[in-house]
Structure 1
Amino acid sequence: MIIMVNRWFMFLLLIPWMLQSCSGSDDTVDGGDLDDGFSTVVRDLPGDTNGSMGGDVDGKTKQGFDTFLFRLSDQKQVWLRNEADSARWMKTADWDLAFTGPYNSEVFVNNANYFYNPGYEGEAVNTSVVMIDQPYETVNEAPSDEEFDTSEITKIGWATSAYDDGWFFYSMDTHIAIPVRDRTWAIRLPDGKYAKLELISVYQGNPPEVTNMNWPAPYFTFRYYVQEDGSENLKTQ
């Protein structure tokens, strides 16, 4: 418990630097175009831009961040603003990803078995996520079911080091939130299909570098591919 508290204390201290960004935008990952002809590319999907980590923040209307759900099949975004929304959606298999926590930066794959998952005790009973430290375009095949069944990843969030199973980390020298490059997430979805996911940016415009602390966030850029025929083939190039 002490470790968790200290970790979140560090996170809160570093939140002001998360909102730094650049003077331009660049729809690339390490110089490559995001569009490959197969993947779905989501650009600047707004998170809870009215939320904040504390009170009295200019332009923010409340403290905390509402969770939103995302369905890969049709890019449907569903907000959980109240108990009625949660009761309607959380325990269903009608969503795939939940963007939760500070700046909606903690991502859950819908799963009925993990207590802290938004879909706990719901319909998504056979889902799982596996971290693959390879560039997205080189991940051509989903892991085996044994790998999915034994995966211990429960949440995709803040990586305190390159060995953590997160999608972003901080440079303690520059105080900038940096996405972990060449990291892909293989997912077994509620319907049994396989997918791969790359989380790219939390900043509006997917900036190549960060210099302006007033740049809007959270606005998510990510891409994914779902193999509709049910096979393990995830090739996108």
Structure 2
Amino acid sequence: MRHTIHICLLTTALLTIASCKKDGNKDTKTNYEDGVSTVIYDLAGDTEASVADGVEGKERRPFKPFYFKLKSKLQSWDSSASNRRSASWDIAFTDVYNALVYVNDGNNPNGPGYGGPGKGLIIAVDSPYSKVTEAPSLEEMKAHNLKFTGWDGYPQVYNTGWYFYSLTTHLAIPIKNRTFVIMTAEGKYAKLELINVYQGNPPAVTDLYWPAPYFTFRYYVQEDGSRNLRTP
């Protein structure tokens, strides 16, 4: 039910975002490269879907989810049960504009990985990415597991989402200095910063029709199994 309500409200609110083509420019003012983390720029979501009729080059229909494996940087559009219930992905970009991000948690009945082996967990930390140097204990992660992140304050509580959405301007505003500590499908600790949903990672968007969804994000996976998430 939570997921259904989220879809309905988010669909209504996002009617005017990203319906025509525009050239985006990478935000050169911020350097996300630290020599250790992986940075993904402009990963295209389902850019052919629309929440409204009559949008040039788009079709009004639900957005197709996609799945992303952190270690291999592999994006997959395979929504078959066998793929969803596997460890072949760590985070899933779902729902309207692919902006609802789930971890691969086989125990979450509302998540795409339900029934699979995924050990995914996710918590929000209000701290800059570089300052998040250690993951909480497994017990703390389980106790505060959000299961997903999306629009801050809906349907989950405030201070857990990765963007604000303005019902006045109808623009999504990524939240600065909010980092997510996650556990991958295989149970490795990692940290994740979801930076933007707009093409070119613009520092600010005032155009209702700026192309979306194009995701910019960065992450670091601690492959040795420890909770050490220190990056430069």
Provide the residue aligned with 2:42 in structure 1: 44
Query: How far is 1:213 from its partner?
Result: 2.3
Query: How far is 1:11 from its partner?
Result: 2.7
Query: How far is 1:185 from its partner?
Result: 0.5
- Percent identity, aligned pairs only, is 46
Provide the residue aligned with 1:16 in structure 2: 15
Provide the residue aligned with 2:224 in structure 1: 229
1:25-44 aligned at under 5 Å gives the runs: 25-27=25-27, 31-44=29-42
Query: How far is 1:131 from its partner?
Result: 0.9
Mapped partners of 2:162, 2:124: distance in 1:
10
**RMSD of aligned alpha carbons:** 2.5
- Contact map agreement 2:14 2:170 (CA 8 A) in 1: no
**Other structure's SS at 1:32 match:** coil
* Residues 184-211 of structure 1, C-alpha deviations (whole Å, 9 max, x = no match): 0101122221100000101000011112
Query: How far is 1:61 from its partner?
Result: 3.0
Mapped partners of 2:60, 2:167: distance in 1:
28
Provide the residue aligned with 2:178 in structure 1: 183
- Contact map agreement 2:25 2:200 (CA 8 A) in 1: yes
Counterpart pick for 2:140 among 139, 147, 150: 147
Provide the residue aligned with 1:79 in structure 2: 77
Provide the residue aligned with 2:193 in structure 1: 198
- Contact map agreement 2:7 2:95 (CA 8 A) in 1: no
Provide the residue aligned with 1:96 in structure 2: 90
1:165-184 aligned at under 5 Å gives the runs: 165-184=160-179
Query: Which residues of structure 1 form unaligned runs of 5+?
Result: none
- Contact map agreement 1:25 1:208 (CA 8 A) in 2: no
- After superposing the two structures, state which structure 1 stretch, 183-192 or 53-62, moved more: 53-62
Provide the residue aligned with 1:131 in structure 2: 124
> Normalized against structure 2, the TM-score is what?
0.89
The one-letter code of the counterpart of 1:135 is: P
Q: Tell me, yes or no, if structure 1 residue 105 matches structure 2 residue 103.
A: no
Query: Which residues of structure 2 form unaligned runs of 5+?
Result: none
* Residues 72-125 of structure 1, C-alpha deviations (whole Å, 9 max, x = no match): 011111103xxxx4133010011101100000000000011111110001111x
Mapped partners of 1:235, 1:18: distance in 2:
36
* Residues 19-46 of structure 1, C-alpha deviations (whole Å, 9 max, x = no match): 3999863436xx5311011100000000
**Other structure's SS at 2:15 match:** helix
Mapped partners of 1:139, 1:22: distance in 2:
35
Provide the residue aligned with 1:121 in structure 2: 115
Q: Give the count of matched residue pairs.
A: 229
**Other structure's SS at 1:33 match:** coil
- Contact map agreement 1:22 1:211 (CA 8 A) in 2: no
Mapped partners of 2:231, 2:183: distance in 1:
17
| Change in 2 beyond 3 A, CA 1:198/1:212 | same
Mapped partners of 1:117, 1:182: distance in 2:
26
**Other structure's SS at 1:158 match:** coil
Provide the residue aligned with 2:59 in structure 1: 61
